[in-house]
Amino acid sequence: MIRSPDLQKLFSRRAAFLAGGQALLMSALVGRMYYLQVVESDRYATLADENRINLRQLAPPRGRIVDRFGVPVAENQQNYRVQLVPEDVKGRDIGDVLGLLTRIVTLSDSDRRRVIREVRRNRAFVPVTIKENLSWSEVARIEINTPDLPGLMIDVGRSRTYPFGTHAAHVLGYVAAVSETDQDEDPLLKLPGFRIGKAGVERVHDLALRGTGGSSEVEVNAFGRMIRELSRREGAPGAEVMLTLDVGLQEFISKRLGDDSASVVVMDVRNGDVLAMVSSPSYDANAFNRGLTTAEWRQLVSDERTPLINKSISGLYSPGSTFKMMVMLAALERSTITPETKILCIGEYELGDAKFHCWRKHGHGFVDAKRAITESCDVYFYEVAKRTGIDRIAATAKKFGIGVASGIDLPGEQAGLMPTREWKKRTRNEPWHGGETLITGIGQGYVLTTPLQLAVMTARIANPSGSAIKPRLTRALSGQPVAPVEVEKLDFAAANMDLIRNGMDRVVNQPTGTARRSQTGISGFDMAGKTGTVQVRRIGKLEREQGVRKNSDLPWRERDHALFVAYAPVDNPRYAIAVVVEHGGGGSTAAAPIARDILIEAHRRNSAGSDALASASAVTAGRPNSEKADPALPAADPPPARQGT
């Protein structure tokens, strides 16, 4: 039994231990509170502010794209969009609200499913975009019916627009939403609805056109709802890109081509500026910005005329007789022939057991260099190609840009192909055959070019200083001129270059020229050129004996390609042009008239006010793509039995 004094001591000792423990705990608590409230006060104040204040990125206005005269070809416009705030629907079914909205604007089933999916995913106060790019009429109808459309509101943003629609789509490209493969360190790419360049100039200069993002500090509550904006810093708009294009000429060409599947490139001979680059048919870049429907996409990808492809830089074609200047020049430079060398054409050329035909069935007789280009004699070029050799021809052609990527500031350019013995051995492990040299001599066989390469070739032929002109599309960035690319001199004899130019002059301006019906009719603005007609099917021996079918009797896919290259004016070259009309038939009837009309328009735009020019413009205005033959002139287009013209 514990005595009372002992019990008192035990109680006192336990009370002392308890009091000490409490004091220790209180000291720890006070110390911790001091540490948090005094020592770490700044840190926790910052964390509290970060939870209360959100920093949001602001998208800057995308930079404009203008043509060489400052005409906007890609700019920003107000984008009216209808949004849904789920918490404001006030007990109504969201599906019912969307159903009422479909009476005013068109909503697909996929649109409705997307909206409902985003509503379920986000908080109730976060707006969900239902549809963008509303017309003013649609906006007005929605506003009038607001009492019956709870939760809907109109928001105004910015949207990319292309004022010239289809006329420059392949050059400008388009913008579209950011995909997973496009993500990088730029925080702008994470903004909802932010768009970047996906093709053309929009893609090449995307970083400059984006600009620098701004920021907004907003106060939010515990649920993330914005209470007020505390501060705002606007970003820097994107740079303005000035192109070398003349959009007026671009539009003229697009309309001139009409429904043809074709490509046209116009260059300034003096500095390489691309004045026009048209690929037909085209597409509306505005449709990509707003979002293509499934039906629209299927129509674009199923069209046999390939509207999504920029034929000017990605279309690969045999150059046909437009290549004959390269064969001639290679032979002259190596002294394989002289300008006076004459070759007999009897309508066909034999090599071993094979026969190679001229477009003129009964031949041209004895042909020299000038006449060979003027009348496009195939047999002459068979023989010249055989004497010169494929490797020498290829070396000359590459100096003029054939089979070599030009490096133009556009994505997707194809390099084409200029074959050699080494190329065939390396790629096919086969030797080069003599017959392949003959076919290359008239621009067929393995050789492949783009319309841009043909324009570059023509510009280099026409350039009076003999420079290897290179094409360019960008003229200035943010008001700072972009200097033309430094070019080297072409090391060809002046006399040989003059002969080539004279031959091209005779093609158009002599009575026997294959393009004589496409003269400009403007004093001081004569055009020099070369026609080309490329077979896309093999003509067998039986068909030759029974009569070769005309292009008009063939399915579209089996008709010849029509080509024409030219420069003007002859005495002081300013413009070079290449025209390719897919399955258009003869180069002299389908492509040459188009080139003539375009060069006249380019001249008119550069020297408005000339009476002679106004008269010529009146003649060419409204002229159809395929002209009727003039009964007073002999047929300029060779018969379909030709190998090349």
362 shares a domain with 492? yes
Question: Residue 613: what pLDDT?
Answer: 39
428 shares a domain with 337? yes
279, 282, 321, 588: the active-site residue: 321
| DSSP single-letter state for residue 37 | I
Residues 6+ apart with CB under 8 A from 191: 57, 59, 213
Tell me the CATH number at 314: 3.40.710.10
Residues 6+ apart with CB under 8 A from 73: 65, 66, 67, 162, 163, 164, 168, 172, 243, 245, 247
Residue 144 falls inside a structural domain: yes
377 close to 369: Cβ distance less than 8 angstroms: no
Strand partners, 56: 216
Residue 130 falls inside a structural domain: yes
525 shares a domain with 382? yes
351 shares a domain with 436? yes
338 shares a domain with 230? no
Residue 10 falls inside a structural domain: no
319 shares a domain with 229? no
Which tokens in the block code for residue 17? Answer: 């231990």
348 shares a domain with 222? no
Residue 608 falls inside a structural domain: yes
Residue 208, φ and ψ in degrees, nearest 5 = -70, -35
What predicted TM-score, i.e. pTM, was given to this entire model? 0.81
| DSSP single-letter state for residue 259 | T
Which amino acid, residue 634? P
Please indicate whether residue 159 is annotated as part of the active site.
no
- List the domain range (segments joined by +) for residue 183: 56-239
330 shares a domain with 195? no
Which tokens in the block code for residue 350? Answer: 């034999």
71 close to 124: Cβ distance less than 8 angstroms: no
| DSSP single-letter state for residue 483 | P
Question: Residue 645: what pLDDT?
Answer: 52
Stretch (H or E) spanning 220: strand 214-220
Question: Residue 635: what pLDDT?
Answer: 34
What's the chain's Rg over C-alpha atoms?
Answer: 36
Domain boundary among 177, 207, 239: 239
Query: Which residue in 564, 560, 637, 644 sits closest to 597, CA to CA?
Result: 564
Query: Which residue in 331, 283, 18 sits closest to 170, CA to CA?
Result: 283
Task: Report the distance separating Cα 130 and Cα 106, nearest Å.
Answer: 11
485 shares a domain with 398? yes
226 shares a domain with 329? no
421 close to 432: Cβ distance less than 8 angstroms: yes
Task: Report the distance separating Cα 91 and Cα 97, nearest Å.
Answer: 11
Task: Name the residue with tokens 């043809």.
Answer: 260
Question: Residue 617: what pLDDT?
Answer: 41
Which tokens in the block code for residue 469? Answer: 């002109």
Question: Residue 95: what pLDDT?
Answer: 85
Residues 6+ apart with CB under 8 A from 319: 402, 443, 447, 449, 454, 532, 534, 563
503 close to 325: Cβ distance less than 8 angstroms: yes
Task: Report the distance separating Cα 441 and Cα 426, nearest Å.
Answer: 22
228 shares a domain with 318? no
Assign 3-state DSSP to the chain and report helix, strand, coil percentages, each to 5.
40, 20, 40
Residue 183 falls inside a structural domain: yes
Give the distance between the most distant pair of CA atoms in the chain.
149
Task: Report the distance separating Cα 595 and Cα 280, nearest Å.
Answer: 15
Flag residues of the chain having pLDDT under 70. Answer: 1-7, 10-11, 35-36, 39-57, 192, 215-231, 537-549, 551-553, 556, 608-645
Residue 98 falls inside a structural domain: yes
Question: Residue 622: what pLDDT?
Answer: 41
Query: Which residue in 385, 387, 408, 378 sits closest to 471, CA to CA?
Result: 408
Residues 6+ apart with CB under 8 A from 408: 274, 313, 452, 470, 471, 472, 473
436 shares a domain with 526? yes
Domain boundary among 212, 239, 266: 239
Domain count, the chain: 2
Compute the residue count for the chain.
645
Residue 479 falls inside a structural domain: yes
Task: Report the distance separating Cα 109 and Cα 100, nearest Å.
Answer: 14
Query: Which residue in 256, 257, 209 sits closest to 60, CA to CA?
Result: 209
| DSSP single-letter state for residue 645 | -
CB-CB neighbours of 362 under 10 Å: 10
Residue 641 falls inside a structural domain: no
Kindly give the pairing relationship between strand 175-177 and strand 195-197: antiparallel
Task: Report the distance separating Cα 478 and Cα 236, nearest Å.
Answer: 12
Strand partners, 264: 278, 579
Task: Report the distance separating Cα 567 and Cα 599, nearest Å.
Answer: 8
Q: Give the pLDDT confidence of 255-291 residue by residue, as tens digits.
A: 999 989 999 999 999 999 999 999 999 999 888 877 7
Q: Which of left, alpha, beta for 352 (phi over 0: left; psi -120 to 50: alpha)?
A: left
